[in-house]
Amino acid sequence: MASLGENRVILDGFGDRVIKSAQANLRKKRQIRGRSVNRVDTGNLSKKITYGYFKRGPKIIQWFGVPASDTETRNYADVIEKGRTPNNDPKTWPPVSPIYKWMDRKGLFEKGSDEKRKWWQASRMAQSIGRRGIVGIYYMRDAFQTEFRKSGSEFRAFYRREILQQLRLKADKYIK
């Protein structure tokens, strides 16, 4: 039976390595439509990903992701991790306000556009994302698998036997 106290150092070390690897995965440039693109905008997601663990019955549950209290970042983390399936239903399209802010930071609006035109452009971008979808980058899954493989066989056997690993990601039917 797993004891949280005696395994805390092991879990902290593994958790720290997974988070550092996930942050590195987020910083990697990606190929999008033939161009090498940096997917990091403000770095907010990278700063907020963390890990934790708690005891449930005889098992220890370890989670990786964004804390549940930060719903907006957590929803964004889900889309970046798993992607977004194409859907023609306007109710499922992403919100326009964060896209407007992103387009403003990146200078993507037409020069000389008034506010009404900028909001229209942002809504068209949200519509395009909703219809075409977004490919996920699996930054957390890949980080966990990489660090798990790097760990020794003794640690892997301990983890499989004693720990229930879960990614704390919101399950949403419109996200892959």
**Are the C-beta atoms of residues 89 and 126 closer than 8 Å to each other?**
no
Instruction: Provide the whole-model pTM.
Output: 0.83
Pairwise pLDDT comparison (3 vs 78), residue with the higher score: 78
Q: Residues with Cβ < 8 Å from 65, sequence gap 6 or more? A: 49, 50, 51, 74, 77, 140, 167, 168, 169
- Indicate the pLDDT class of residue 170, thresholds 50, 70 and 90: very low
pLDDT at 164 over 80: no
DSSP code at position 94 = P
Q: What is the mean pLDDT of the chain?
A: 86
Whole-angstrom distance, CA of residue 168 vs CA of residue 27: 21
Q: Where are the domains of the chain?
A: 1-82+137-176, 86-132
Tens of pLDDT, residue by residue over 22-63, are 999 999 987 777 877 777 888 999 999 999 888 877 778 888
pLDDT of 121 > 50? The answer is yes
Token digits of residue 150: 């790097």
